[in-house]
Amino acid sequence: MTGNKKTGWVSVLAGLAAFAAPAAAMALDGKVPDPAADWNHLFGHVLIDIIIIGVVFGGWAAYMLVKYRATAPGQIGQGPKLSVAQAISLAVIPAVVFMADDFYLAANGWVLWNTQRTVPVGALEVKVVANQFYWDFDFGNGVTATNEIKVPVGKPVVLRMTSNDVVHSFGIPDFRIKEDAVPGRKTFLWFVAQKPGRYLATCGEYCGMSHAQMGAWIEAVPQADFDAWIKSQQHASAAPAASASNS
């Protein structure tokens, strides 16, 4: 019993110590937060937490399963008879330890959740409409794209999403974020690409037989390249409209 109690607290304390630093830094320095890195960081800590609990309980069970084998036929177990005080404390103490761990995890999860749900000022706004089985993007100023977009490196991008038909879910594994696109609702997610590259976005919610093919590519490029791309897209979309008015 004491083994469990101790480990619970050790993991709580270790986790709290490890967390104090980055959480404080994030709040103070005023830079754009990096939710994907924060996600990896927190996931690492949750993994340590659950591995400690798993090893303690698993090792404890394995030890007892080997140690308390019957050695003679007809042998009876010698489990203790608990007094009322023992019985209550053996329920309440583990409960308090588990609860402490829960609150510790919930509190750290909440810190990241606030980051994930607070869109940084000046983020690039992109409207997204999901369809069976493709993604329409609208950058405003007449710039639209389907399934392939570019975004500037280092600049937060917020996707304002809805769906034209069924429920879809826009997830970018590399950015550790996902949110459903739901008919009749406006949902959002935001991300920031730290490095140039092509990032895959997948549809997460089952939407029909081609669900597995419903992907999009997000290409993170330097700001100048992004501006050029926007300009060329504006040009491309303006051209047919101009020629139509001429004729």
Partner 1 sequence: MKTLKEWVFSTDHKRIGILYLIGSFAAFGLAGIAALIIRLQQYSPGMDIAQGQAYYNALYFHAAAMILAFLIPGLTGFFGNYFLPIMIGAKDMAFPRLNAFSVWLYLMGVVLALISMAMPDAPDVLWTGYPPYSIRTTANTAFYVFTVHLMGFSSIVGAINILVTVICMRAPGVGWNQLPVLVWTLLGSLTINLIFIPVLGAAVTLLLTDKYMGTHFFDAAAGGDPVLYQNLFWFYSHPAVYVIFLPAMGILFEVISTMGQNPVFNYKAAVYGGVFGIAGLSGEVWVHHLYTSGMPDWIRIGMTVTTLMISVPVGVMLISLWGTLYKAALRYNVAMYYAVACLFFLLIGGLTGIPLAMVSMTVHLAKTAYVHAHFHYVMALFATFSIFSGVYFWFPKMTGRFADTMLGKVGFWLSFIGANVTFAPLFVVGVAGMPRRYWDYDQFPAWFADYHHVATYGAFIMGAGMLVALANFVYCAFAGQKCASTNPWNSNSLEWTHTVNPPGPGNFLHDVSVPAGWSPYYYGAK
Q: Which of residues 35-74 bind partner 1 (CB under 8 A)?
A: 39, 42-43, 46-47, 49-50, 53-54, 57-58, 60-61, 64-65, 68-71, 74
Q: Which is nearer to partner 1, 129 or 189 (CB)?
A: 189
> CA 79 from chain center: how many Å?
45
Q: Does residue 155 contact residue 191 with C-beta atoms inside 8 Å?
A: no
Residue 56 C-beta: closest distance to partner 1, Å: 10
Q: Which is nearer to partner 1, 183 or 197 (CB)?
A: 183
Q: Which is nearer to partner 1, 130 or 143 (CB)?
A: 130
Residue 200 C-beta: closest distance to partner 1, Å: 6
Residue 224 C-beta: closest distance to partner 1, Å: 28
Q: Does residue 123 contact residue 157 with C-beta atoms inside 8 Å?
A: yes
Residues 176-215 that bind partner 1 (CB under 8 A): 176-180, 182-185, 187, 189, 200, 202-213, 215
Burial of 187 (0-12, 13-18, 19+ CB in 10 A): middle
Q: Which is nearer to partner 1, 9 or 68 (CB)?
A: 68
Residue 203 C-beta: closest distance to partner 1, Å: 8
Residues 141-180 that bind partner 1 (CB under 8 A): 165-167, 169, 171, 173-174, 176-180
Q: Which is nearer to partner 1, 34 or 205 (CB)?
A: 205
Structure tokens at 122: 């000046």
Q: Does residue 217 contact residue 148 with C-beta atoms inside 8 Å?
A: yes
Among residues 191, 237, 241, the alpha carbon closest in space to that of 32 is found at 191
The answer to whether 102 contacts partner 1 (rule: CB under 8 A) is: yes
Query: Which bin fits 30, alpha (ψ -120 to 50), beta or left (φ > 0)?
Result: left
Residue 235 C-beta: closest distance to partner 1, Å: 30
Q: How many residues does the chain have?
A: 247
Residues 11-30 that bind partner 1 (CB under 8 A): none
Residue 220 C-beta: closest distance to partner 1, Å: 17
Burial 119-136 (b: 16+ CB within 10 A, else e): eeeebbebbbbbbbbbbe
Q: Which is nearer to partner 1, 191 or 226 (CB)?
A: 191
Distance CA 218, CA 103 (A): 36
Region binding partner 1 by CB under 8 A among candidate stretches 24-32, 88-96, 147-155, 226-234: 88-96
Burial of 243 (0-12, 13-18, 19+ CB in 10 A): exposed
Query: Which of 17, 28, 31, 75 touches partner 1 by CB under 8 A?
Result: 75
Q: Which is nearer to partner 1, 20 or 47 (CB)?
A: 47
Distance CA 200, CA 174 (A): 8
